[in-house]
Amino acid sequence: MRRTATRLLAIVALAAALLAQAADGVAPNRILIGQSITLQGGKNDYGSAVQAGVQTYLQVVNSRGGVHGRQIVLKTLDDDNKTDKAEANVQQLVEQDKVFMLFGSIEGGPSTAVMKVANKLSVPFFGPMAGSPTLRRPFQPLVFPVRAEHRDEFRALISQAKNLGMGKVAFLRSDSEVGAQHLANVKLICAELGSELVADMPFKADINEAQVEKLVQQAEQAGAQMVLNHGSSGVYETFIRKSRARGARITFYGVNSGSTQLAKHLGELAHGMVFSQVVPSPWERKTSITREYQDEFAKARPGEEFSYGSLEGYMTAKALVMALRLAGPNPTREGFLLALDGARMDLNGLKAVYDRDLHQGLNFVDLSIVTRESKFRH
């Protein structure tokens, strides 16, 4: 009871802090949403795919009259996968562009940076498409993830490998505060499952090929049977190529972020890789949300391939629209927070949950394997 009362007081205090800024971004015919996302000038394949899905859903909603008669306008800035750039973007979006709320980053470091500024400026941050533990723990009353977190993905991957007799784990991760938190989760999961973390392999953003080679040697010397990753898919691609070239007998696992693009870049070297996924298969029509996505995406972007990234972007934009509808016809930041307190959102078959002391979003995690035809089979 005392914990619940404390949470309620925190929400009330936040609502009071938001009240003075409530009108920012809201006009009679539109609502302005701010986004800092990793596009890297169009070179980030995953970011571009996510944005295609987001834009597809928002176009559908706006063509049908928007939310309570307002068009949803997305102001997007590229953070170039840099935390300092993400912070600067958010400062501009909130203080200069006067956005109503923040939405839709994709990488752990930039997402954490967006959260930091969102908390400082008392602005809601909805739909970070990153698996960072910082977005949920400690509890963040202003942050509303939609996708499952990496901890759930790590557990699914390590458990699957353990069931196949691969209990010696190597972890390739960014050398950062977030990466250290992921490492702690991997250690806990290994202990729970009876696996052994035999190699922790942190890397800096400016890592070169010689340094990647040393990490490959570290994994081999430690006797790793499986490797999983957090961080740059480009670094992981180089790691896998060098491991394969050395003939290393290691099985490679990966989290969802950029899995389609990584498998495409690796070609035959990706065959047999297992990836965790936080959305259903975008190529199959087995779920209601996937059928909806395929139909709308094909109409909006004829000829473009379906992908995990665009499906995640589509689903996250759908959740954003649901949240804005819950906030009512006269939205305020205060009303947005109160409307999502205890909210349950049905994303056409998948349920997102936002309780008073945990903004879980979805807990959906599935596994996929890359076949010899370079297809993902769930």
The CATH number of domain 2-148+287-354 is 3.90.76.10:
no
Which residue reads 């994303």 in tokens?
347
Condensed to tens digits (0 to 9), the pLDDT of residues 169-200 reads 999 999 988 889 999 999 999 999 999 999 99
Rounded percentage of the chain residues whose pLDDT exceeds 70: 94
Condensed to tens digits (0 to 9), the pLDDT of residues 198-252 reads 999 999 989 999 999 999 999 999 999 999 998 778 899 999 999 999 999 999 9
User: What is the pLDDT, as a whole number, of residue 205?
Assistant: 84
Does residue 88 register a pLDDT over 90? yes
Segment 107-116 mean pLDDT: 92
What is the bridge-based pairing of β-strands 350-354 and 366-370? unpaired
Task: Give the lowest-confidence range in 17-26, 278-287, 308-317, 323-332.
Answer: 17-26
User: What is the pLDDT, as a whole number, of residue 378?
Assistant: 95
- Which of 245, 249, 230 minimizes the C-alpha distance to 166? 249
Task: Please report the DSSP string for 227-251 in residue order.
Answer: EEE-S-HHHHHHHHHHHHHTT---E
Record the pTM: 0.87
Task: Please report the DSSP string for 291-328 in residue order.
Answer: HHHHHHHHHHSTTPPP-HHHHHHHHHHHHHHHHHHHT-
User: Distances from the Cα of 190 to the Cαs of 154, 157, 166, 171, 354, in angstroms?
Assistant: 10, 11, 12, 11, 28
Q: What's the pLDDT band for 44 if we cut at 50, 70, 90?
A: confident
User: What is the pLDDT, as a whole number, of residue 95?
Assistant: 97
* CA–CA gap between residue 56 and residue 40 (Å, rounded): 20
Task: State the Cα angle at 104 between 100 and 109, rounded to 5°.
Answer: 115
Q: Dig out the tokens for 50 from the structure.
A: 């996510």
Mark 38-65 as b/e (b = at least 16 C-beta within 10 Å).
bbeeeebbbbbbbbbbbbbbbbbbbeee
User: What is the pLDDT, as a whole number, of residue 233?
Assistant: 82
- Which of 273, 257, 253 minimizes the C-alpha distance to 105? 257
| Superfamily grouping for domain 150-277 | Response regulator (3.40.50.2300)
Q: Where are the domains of the chain?
A: 2-148+287-354, 150-277
Do the first three CATH levels of 2-148+287-354 and 150-277 match, i.e. the same topology? yes
